[in-house]
Structure 1
């Protein structure tokens, strides 16, 4: 009986303990499910927020892509980029990461001018344009825009020549005539140039110069001959001041310069005879000039091609041209000498250089230009005469400073490296542009 009571009591205790453990397990499972449910709800909310942010970023990326395409289209049409208003972030929109913009390519006329080069919008002002120092064309003036370019150029040339006519007995002992000639020439040329964009790829241009020149030639004759002893030095001072040869032309841009291609610009210029030519200057009673010419006296046509390659932050430019000087019958008679047809020598010219931006306002350029000039053919007293060919080479240096969104100041220096080149030529340009509303 006691054994039965003990077994019953034991069975009841085990059953109670089992029910207690089962209740505790059920309670722990309910807590775990509540925690897991809370985590699932939190993760779902986080995914919804991330999906919302991704959608906003996708919209902003689409808007930036649209703005970039619009800027590229405007550049291809030769228009200045229009700044777009950035989207404002609200409290409900998280700001999307903005990619770093790359520099715009140089869209400077000049060139790539200027020109070459003829050849680049921040806070509502155009990207800094890299000036091409040589006046050889460049990326063109936008359609409906006119550019006015006042220019002041000054050059200096000098030569020292030593002539000896006689017999050399021994070294440093000369019997005959020695003549030493020293010449100095200075030319100042203020001019005004105009360029107008007819279309996004075609512009017309004109240039009106005024030439002020002076020349001083001094010759000293040293001789032991009786008829020349004591002969004084020869001194000649000449000057000229009048309108120069007016130029006009057109430039056409063949391509848009995309996909790594350089800008290719064709140029065609013509130079008139508005200046005073060498056969039109006044002379004294023995036929010597009393004033200097301010023009060539011959029409000329110059076709050329300019290539400008953007390699950020630099611009590479090159130009090749041919100047055809037209012959004419000058019908000039001096004493017993008659000069008939004169065919000035044509010119093959080439240049190459590099320009690079130091910042968004200041740029520099370096280059070299070389001209091969063929000799002049003349008929004097019906006899054909041809002068010698010669070459003119110059090192080019330039700097340009943007002082306003549509105005810059450019200074270039050309230093002669051949005997026939001017010693130095300095040119100051202040181009400014404005739209005519087309």
Structure 2
């Protein structure tokens, strides 16, 4: 009696050194559905876990660390032109360098061969350096100060449900759903302080979004020997929340905040080079709509500059150190102005 194959079973041919053994380990049922008699290699399971869903009946505890860096520069001219050639006024060049390090533990468990649940617990450390050039009309005069913050981030609960298993003609389809709780420090009502003649910085940095959010989407994965291709499409909805203060100025200004919803899509490919090692290349893009604030005095207004296009190209690799422990790495490079310049991730999943 055969069992239904989890995604990537056909990839055993590429991940195994003995071709005859791989052929014996997989076959096709009467209904055209891929079936197997042996468990896929560890490198294949690593690709499943990181890019799709594993649906394993073993508990997976996955500690990880992610570091991202970005910098933004803005030129501000405050004055006027004399004789259409000479600028009279202040020239300010403001630069913000952001470092975000996130430590998290991601726990996953397959309740059945079609349903998987997960829980992500993050801890965030942020450090931002603010620089201003051009104070007092002097381009040689620089000002600089740093602000850092550490706290729990937003906790999320995830569900993955296999809608259709992979066959020779169709990909493996999984529906994903997630709930995000506002357990981190929210970014609203943070006061600013004067850090120099021409420099104002926030007194603290946020570690969360401050609002509840739900995400849903579809991911697909298909084995195309000797590679695997995957793609995903998703949507995130942020609930409107009320806060006692949403202004950075002195005094409380109560109001409602509706963070912009987002649409995301991604695709990529992976190769299991042998039983323990795999490589992947992927691209992810997310469009975030403008946020809105509502106050008694000003009504509802869009927050200018709050929309974003985030595009990231990622190169990843997994190495199975044992049958129950793996090392996962990923390097992401931002391709749009709103994305982080670079991000580096290390994860180490343990299967109990």
TM-score of the superposed pair, with normalisation by structure 1? 0.67
- Counterpart pick for 1:177 among 79, 90, 93: 90
TM-aligned CA deviation for residue 191 of structure 1 = 0.6
TM-aligned CA deviation for residue 315 of structure 1 = 0.9
Partner of 2:301: 385
Cα distance in 1 between the residues matched to 2:84 and 2:23? 70
Structure whose residues are more often strand by fraction: 2
Deviations 1:242-289 (A, max 9, x none): 111111111101122123211100110011111111137576699963
- Counterpart pick for 2:144 among 235, 256, 262: 235
TM-aligned CA deviation for residue 166 of structure 1 = 2.3
Structure 2 stretches lacking a partner, 5+ long: 10-18, 27-35
Pair 153,127 (structure 1): closer, same or farther in 2 beyond 3 Å: closer
TM-aligned CA deviation for residue 313 of structure 1 = 1.9
Instruction: Work out which of the two has the higher radius of gyration on C-alpha atoms and give 1 or 2.
Output: 1
TM-aligned CA deviation for residue 290 of structure 1 = 1.7
Partner of 2:210: 297
Question: Residues 131 and 355 of structure 1 are in contact (CA less than 8 Å); yes or no, is this contact kept in structure 2?
Answer: no
- 2:129 matched to 1:216? yes
- 2:271 matched to 1:356? yes
- 2:330 matched to 1:402? no
- 2:102 matched to 1:102? no
Cα distance in 2 between the residues matched to 1:76 and 1:417? 34
Cα distance in 2 between the residues matched to 1:230 and 1:308? 54
Question: Residues 316 and 331 of structure 2 are in contact (CA less than 8 Å); yes or no, is this contact kept in structure 1?
Answer: yes
Cα distance in 1 between the residues matched to 2:189 and 2:64? 27
Cα distance in 2 between the residues matched to 1:263 and 1:294? 35
Partner of 1:75: 5
Partner of 2:185: 276
TM-aligned CA deviation for residue 304 of structure 1 = 1.0
Q: Which has the higher contact order (CA 8 A, sep 6+)?
A: 2
Question: Residues 183 and 216 of structure 1 are in contact (CA less than 8 Å); yes or no, is this contact kept in structure 2?
Answer: yes
Partner of 1:344: 259
Cα distance in 2 between the residues matched to 1:263 and 1:338? 50
Partner of 1:49: none
Q: How big is the alpha-carbon RMSD for the aligned residues of Structure 1 and Structure 2?
A: 3.2
Question: Residues 264 and 284 of structure 2 are in contact (CA less than 8 Å); yes or no, is this contact kept in structure 1?
Answer: yes
TM-aligned CA deviation for residue 331 of structure 1 = 2.4
Question: Residues 219 and 232 of structure 2 are in contact (CA less than 8 Å); yes or no, is this contact kept in structure 1?
Answer: yes
Question: Residues 133 and 139 of structure 2 are in contact (CA less than 8 Å); yes or no, is this contact kept in structure 1?
Answer: no
TM-score of the superposed pair, with normalisation by structure 2? 0.82
- Counterpart pick for 2:73 among 146, 160, 185: 160
